[in-house]
A and B are shown apart, each in its own frame.
Chain A
Amino acid sequence: GENVEQHPSTLSVQEGDSAVIKCTYSDSASNYFPWYKQELGKRPQLIIDIRSNVGEKKDQRIAVTLNKTAKHFSLHITETQPEDSAVYFCAALRVGGNEKLTFGTGTRLTIIP
């Protein structure tokens, strides 16, 4: 089955600086890679996703990049703000493969004011 590794487990960034979270996956057939943000005491929320037919996707201050050859994908947050503080989970899935979404272990991001 799929295995997703996520690094770092914790990350502290000065407000206004950029943050990068990296994930690697094992199954080359995986073709869908979402990122979830979970604030303290709240539900995970999908913030951005990327499919294997593109290499990069942006949505305002967040972007995701995908390197299929190396089997890794990354979340980039620019101009960080205090409300970006949360736990971020990456995940991988082979759409149409009748398999479950596999999550990474999570990164606790803290934005220092």
Chain B
Amino acid sequence: DTEVTQTPKHLVMGMTNKKSLKCEQHMGHRAMYWYKQKAKKPPELMFVYSYEKLSINESVPSRFSPECPNSSLLNLHLHALQPEDSALYLCAISAGPDAGELFFGEGSRLTVL
């Protein structure tokens, strides 16, 4: 199975909290993605990192802050979120930024109170 590991699996936070989502991959793929998925909707792209550099930001509010410390790790820092930000946050990887074949992690289910 594809090794894309996301932590935590579940997160509940208040609107004033600061938290982080983490993603780790062991495939050696050079493109890493953050997606947001609401119930009954397709995944919605947030950010793309290519070779550890941010290449796409889909006009995401600044309360979401991505970070790619190295080729295996991807973080999403969360601050001052709103209840409407509650969703499943999916990390994905691919061989390249537009290689097509995306492999998703299990996701972090976020609830903002």
Contact = CB atoms under 8 A, between A and B. Distances in A.
Contacts of A45: 104
Interface in A84-103: 87, 89, 93-101, 103
A46 interface: yes
Nearest to B99: A95
A54 B68 CA distance: 37
Contact of A100 (B41, B56, B107): B56
Contacts of A101: 45, 100, 102
Contacts of A89: 42-43
B84 interface: no
Q: How large is the interface on B (under 10, 10 to 19, 20 to 34, 35 or more residues)?
A: 20 to 34
Contacts of A32: 100
Q: How large is the interface on A (under 10, 10 to 19, 20 to 34, 35 or more residues)?
A: 20 to 34
B90 interface: yes
B41 A98 contact: no
Nearest to B106: A43
B101 interface: yes
Interface in B62-111: 90, 97-107
B104 A100 contact: no
B100 A106 contact: no
A90 to B, nearest CB: 9
B21 interface: no
Contact of B101 (A46, A96, A97): A46
20 contacts: A32-B100, A36-B102, A42-B106, A43-B90, A43-B105, A44-B90, A87-B40, A89-B43, A93-B100, A94-B98, A96-B98, A100-B45, A100-B48, A101-B45, A103-B42, A103-B43, A104-B42, A106-B40, A106-B41, A106-B42
